[in-house]
Amino acid sequence: MKILSLDSKTTSVWNDYMRCDYARWEVGQECDVHSHWNAAEVFVFLRGRCEITVEGEVAIVGAGQTVYVGPEEKHKLKSIGPEPLEMFILVCPNHSPTHTFYKEDGTPVPYDRPAPNE
């Protein structure tokens, strides 16, 4: 058996089953609206505050909270508040395209995020 221990300074898991890692976002950092084709995403918030929008519904979440985003659900995050946002992110399964972004007219744009260390 191989045990892989993850912590906020160590590594990511990136294979066909899942991708997961820790992320630290400075206050004000945000991502564009996107979704994951045929894959779910889980955010575990460890520190700071996040404004998360899922399918148009906005919530403010923080340390100790978890958010599940289902396959194809459009979502975006923004780090808000007085301190950086720290979170653990898990997407499964992990496959191409890793993300689908959207043009202003709603046209989907498939994108493959490079694996760590590539």
Which has the closest alpha carbon to 101: 93, 91, 111?
Answer: 111
* pLDDT at residue number 2: 56
Helices (H) and strands (E) in the chain, counts: 0, 11
Is residue 59 situated within a structural domain?
Answer: yes
Q: Please tell me the total count of domains within the chain.
A: 1
Question: How many angstroms separate the CA atoms of 5 and 115, rounded?
Answer: 18
Is residue 78 situated within a structural domain?
Answer: yes
Per-residue pLDDT of the chain (118 residues; tens, 9 = 90+): 455 555 655 568 899 999 999 999 999 999 999 999 999 999 999 999 999 999 999 999 999 999 999 999 999 999 998 999 999 999 999 999 999 999 999 999 999 999 887 5
CA 39 to chain CA mean position, Å: 12
What CATH number is associated with residue 56?
2.60.120.10
Range of the domain at 28: 24-111
Is residue 64 situated within a structural domain?
Answer: yes
Is residue 40 situated within a structural domain?
Answer: yes
Is residue 92 situated within a structural domain?
Answer: yes
